[in-house]
């Protein structure tokens, strides 16, 4: 039995605390120095230290892959294979039928690649169905490379929109019969955390001869996502993409788990070293080996191994357990936020009716999202994100009723400027390390802002982009962390070591 199929229930708590940056402090606008409350995990998660330790240890053997002759190359090649195995095992994929390839620094690169490859496979099917709740990364590549992108509507409407509507998908598949190449849908939204019924959607797509690409960037670290829920091929996801930096492995690549038959028999999208059997001046012969044929060039060995170590560790702690712990915090956040006067939570807020993962976007009536995010940061050390989260069509749909109520004529030249501070939301997102204390800090910050909103507003100026800047408190990045000073410190340590008598 492999080590990662053994659950270690007692690992859960130590693992939650094993992250770099949990005790990072900053000086705030009122002069206090407090611990940062990191509620921006949907953008990038913090680094799991035990996985980073694996990477650091591997550095002692560092060499390029693609050879097994010298010791270090043998180790590098083995570790890189191991990283692929961890990904496939994590989603219970069949290594005989599936492959995983790493690419880029997030899922954007694999998504562009898949769009190009799948379009080239079936040019006669020139329609792709893309859900309305996609991040631009799972929308624009399909628009650019794969033909006509038709949006798939969601259930519900306005502020309380729900998940992708299977009935609407079925109607579109009928309407574009024999034309739909694939369906692109997120497993969970980066705006609302709402979870889509991806296996039902896959079954519908397959019944119409379409494939399904699932963006698992917001799902994989937070809840189990097997490649098929029942093991039935009809309900299997054809391609699952993810970003390593949202999986507690910053500096690791993006990846795609793909059914091999989708890639086999056609020229890989990228060519170069490591993916050929032979090259002559007249031609070249691509290897049939997976994932080699999909990974031209020197791979991100260290990032991939760090990512593999995270996935192994998460499985040991138990993904069900991780999911349950996040759900408890999420429900607390939803309930307490709903009780805040004037708070609007986006997406169906009932997690029993519409399941969601640990992402909550909201607004406070009469307060610009930029002001809320700035005050939470400057006075409460709560790191949230604000704006449209690279999901403009979805955010605009969720905000529609409010923007209409603002009574700004969209045809006036000033409309864009007037609407800017109101076109967005505040997003709090959870990770394995998030605690009740972090949720409490957010709620305390919100209540404080609501109690003194005029005072706070007077402290800020807003720029043309809708960003709020404190009039007197400035904390430039280089004063908080300067890479050159960090290097100075490292070099000083080096000189101190060299000055030692030995």
Ligand X SMILES: Cc1ncc(COP(=O)(O)O)c(C=O)c1O
Which part of the chain contacts ligand X (CB under 6 A), choosing from 134-142, 268-276, 374-382, 485-493? 134-142
Which part of the chain contacts ligand X (CB under 6 A), choosing from 135-143, 167-175, 420-428, 441-449? 135-143
135 binds ligand X (CB under 6 A): yes
Among 41, 138, 377, 381, which residue interacts with ligand X (rule: CB under 6 A)?
A: 138
Among 77, 108, 160, 196, which residue interacts with ligand X (rule: CB under 6 A)?
A: 108
Q: Which of 227, 205, 214, 157 is nearest to 185 (CA)?
A: 214
Residues across the chain: 502
192 binds ligand X (CB under 6 A): no
361 binds ligand X (CB under 6 A): no
Integer Cα distance of 222 and 314 in angstroms: 10
Q: Which two tokens stand for residue 248?
A: 């507690």
Could you say which residues in the range 206-225 bind ligand X, by CB under 6 A? Answer: 215, 217-218
Span between the terminal Cα atoms of the chain, in Å: 48
**Distance in Å, CB of 104 to ligand X, minimum:** 7
**Distance in Å, CB of 386 to ligand X, minimum:** 14
Alpha-carbon torsion (334, 335, 338, 343), positive or negative: negative
429 binds ligand X (CB under 6 A): no
| Range list of H helices, 318-408 | 319-338, 369-380, 392-405
Integer Cα distance of 84 and 226 in angstroms: 16
Could you say which residues in the range 243-262 bind ligand X, by CB under 6 A? Answer: 243, 245, 254
Alpha carbon 217 to chain centroid distance? 4
Please answer whether residues 314 and 91 qualify as being in contact, where contact means their C-beta atoms are separated by less than 8 angstroms. no
Among 137, 275, 334, 372, which residue interacts with ligand X (rule: CB under 6 A)?
A: 137
Integer Cα distance of 89 and 102 in angstroms: 15
Integer Cα distance of 300 and 302 in angstroms: 6
Number of H helices, E strands in the chain: 16, 19
- Number of residues lying near ligand X (CB under 6 A): 16
Which part of the chain contacts ligand X (CB under 6 A), choosing from 75-83, 106-114, 200-208, 423-431? 106-114
65 binds ligand X (CB under 6 A): no
Among 160, 181, 190, 361, which residue interacts with ligand X (rule: CB under 6 A)?
A: 190
Q: Which two tokens stand for residue 101?
A: 């390839």
**Distance in Å, CB of 259 to ligand X, minimum:** 20
Which part of the chain contacts ligand X (CB under 6 A), choosing from 131-139, 143-151, 256-264, 337-345? 131-139
Q: How many CB atoms lie within 10 A of CB 58?
A: 20
186 binds ligand X (CB under 6 A): yes
106 binds ligand X (CB under 6 A): yes
Integer Cα distance of 337 and 347 in angstroms: 14
Could you say which residues in the range 306-345 bind ligand X, by CB under 6 A? Answer: none
- Positions that interact with ligand X (CB under 6 A): 42-43, 106-108, 135, 137-138, 186, 190, 215, 217-218, 243, 245, 254
């Amino acid at each position: 039995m492999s080590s990662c199929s053994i659950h270690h229930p007692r690992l859960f708590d130590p693992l939650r605390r094993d992250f770099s940056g949990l005790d990072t402090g900053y000086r705030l606008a009122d002069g206090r120095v407090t611990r940062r409350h990191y509620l921006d995990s949907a953008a990038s998660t913090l680094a799991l230290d035990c996985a980073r330790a694996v990477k650091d240890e591997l550095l002692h053997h560092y060499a390029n892959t693609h050879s097994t002759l010298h010791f270090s190359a043998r180790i590098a090649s083995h570790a890189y294979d191991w990283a692929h195995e961890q990904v496939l095992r994590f989603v219970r994929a069949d290594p005989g039928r599936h492959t995983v390839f790493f690419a880029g620094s997030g899922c954007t690169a694999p998504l562009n690649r898949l769009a190009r490859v799948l379009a080239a496979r079936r040019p006669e099917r020139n329609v792709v169905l893309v859900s309305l709740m996609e991040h631009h990364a799972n929308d624009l590549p399909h628009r650019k490379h794969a033909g006509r992108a038709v949006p798939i509507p969601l259930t519900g409407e306005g502020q309380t929109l729900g998940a992708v509507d299977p009935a609407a998908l079925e109607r579109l598949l009928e309407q574009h019969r024999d034309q739909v190449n694939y369906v692109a849908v997120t497993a969970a939204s980066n705006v609302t955390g709402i979870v889509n019924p991806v296996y039902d959607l896959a079954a519908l797509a397959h019944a119409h001869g379409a494939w399904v690409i699932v963006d698992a960037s917001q799902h994989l670290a937070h809840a189990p996502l097997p490649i098929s829920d029942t093991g039935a091929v009809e309900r299997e996801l054809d391609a699952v993409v993810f970003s390593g930096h949202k999986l507690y492995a910053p500096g690791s690549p993006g990846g795609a788990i793909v059914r091999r038959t989708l890639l086999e028999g056609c020229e890989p999208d990228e060519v170069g070293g490591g993916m050929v059997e032979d090259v002559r001046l007249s031609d070249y012969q691509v290897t049939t080996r997976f994932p080699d044929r999909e990974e031209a060039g020197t791979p991100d060995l260290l990032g991939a191994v760090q990512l593999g170590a995270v996935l192994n560790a998460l499985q040991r702690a138990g993904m069900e357990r991780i999911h349950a712990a996040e759900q408890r915090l999420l429900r607390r956040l939803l309930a307490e936020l709903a009780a805040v006067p004037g708070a609007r939570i986006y997406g169906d807020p009932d997690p029993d009716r519409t399941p969601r993962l640990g992402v909550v976007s909201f607004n406070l009536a009469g307060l610009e999202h930029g002001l809320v995010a700035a005050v939470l940061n400057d006075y409460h050390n709560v790191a949230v994100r604000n704006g449209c989260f690279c999901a403009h069509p979805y955010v605009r749909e969720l905000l529609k009723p409010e923007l209409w109520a603002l009574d700004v004529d969209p045809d006036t030249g000033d409309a864009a400027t007037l609407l800017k501070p109101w076109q967005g939301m505040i997003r709090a997102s959870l990770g394995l390390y998030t605690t009740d204390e972090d949720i409490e800090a957010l709620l305390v910050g919100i209540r404080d802002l609501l109690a003194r909103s005029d005072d706070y507003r007077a402290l800020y100026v807003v720029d043309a982009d809708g960003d709020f800047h404190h009039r007197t408190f400035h904390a430039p990045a280089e004063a908080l962390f300067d890479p050159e000073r960090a290097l100075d410190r490292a070099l000083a340590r080096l000189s101190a070591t060299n000055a030692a008598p030995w």
